[in-house]
Structure 1
Amino acid sequence: MPHLLFNNKIVQEILPNESFEEISNYAETILGESNFYLTSQGKKVSSENYDGNENLQICPRLLGGKGGFGSMLRAIGAQIEKTTNREACRDLSGRRLRDINEEKRIKEWAEKQKDLEEERKEKKQKKLEKMMTAPKHEFKDEEYEKSRQTLLETVSDSVEAGFRNAKASTSKRKIEDTKGAIPMKKKALWIDEGFSSCSSDSDSDDEEEGAKAKAVN
């Protein structure tokens, strides 16, 4: 025979011909309030699904509501900063994500440095080619060209006239020097004293021989 339970204790037997409304009224007299429901094997039972062969458990309802507690929890949760740092986590192979990300950053940095070096070399090559090419500046001014040509001709004529005057003054000075120059005397030959004494002795001998010849005659 089924029973009516409250806190897992039998409070009354349920008769076979007893309806669900009668059982509910008896449970209301036990609790002293109508705020409850009946369950059978953990499932809520009503007048529609009650068959009269199961034990019924009286479950009082708890009064109240959210009371602002849920909204308070949500407000506190919004104030807590959620971290997005997963560097200390590991992947399926057991490596830390921090090491994997660091390796990727190093590879990207090396590729970037390589690109920068190539770009630097290309800029340097372009600069050298630009320096080696002849300038393409064009300057056209007819008045300037005319005055420039006149100036060149004037300078050339002045230089030629200066050369002619310098040549004429040089030749005139040479002629004047030749006219006023004093003729140089001939230098006497140098005769040794011994040679002069020998010549005087020979002359005196010749005179003595001539005098002897005259005396003999």
Structure 2
Amino acid sequence: MNTTLLVHSFSPFPTLSISVPDDTPINSVLPLLNAKYPSLPTAGLFLSPHSGLVAEDATIGSLCDEHESLLSLRLSPRLLGGKGGFGSQLRAAGGRMSSQKTSNNDSCRDLNGRRLSTIKEAKKLAEYLESEPDRLAAKAEAQKAKLEALERKLGITPSSSGAGSSKSPADSSEPPKLAGTKHRFDDTEYLEQSRDLVDGVKSAVSAGESESIPSSSSITNNSS
């Protein structure tokens, strides 16, 4: 029994047709097509049904449905492969991407119904409060060291060592200590000028406010 084959080729070749016995292997159909169509090349081509690739020794009868004498095949060129290695590189890149992907579960809830983000914030707050004394102590130490450095720069004896140390008042080589000494400012002319300037500014502000805000009598007259 013969089966008619409809071979869908690629441009510029049209759809080819040929009749072959059912026991013909699929790899033997291509030489038969070349014998019928001499212009059709055979190198680098292969035949396959539309369902996909099949074994080269599969017969035409095994590819046909029962009681059918028509089979559609597809003629395709073979694609030359490269040197390889791209697939492994792609898999390695995918593995790196998946390892770098972080999972954010903050919106999830635990068995008690609390969000994980709330639990994390509570833990951070507890750790912060637990380390609060250490931070305060470090801050106090830094302020104390800064104050001692400033006292040394100004020539002030620290209070801790002032009770136990005694210096002779006749020591003239020690520079005079200016820190802690009260000074009276006796420039009366400057004080008077400063007072006059302040009074002038206050008067100007009061005059500007009185001009910008209308009096109650004028408002009454306008409304009437």
The alignment's TM-score, normalised by the length of structure 1, stands at 0.35
* Max Rg structure: 1
Greater relative contact order (Cα < 8 A, sep 6+): 2
Higher helix fraction: Structure 1 or Structure 2? 1
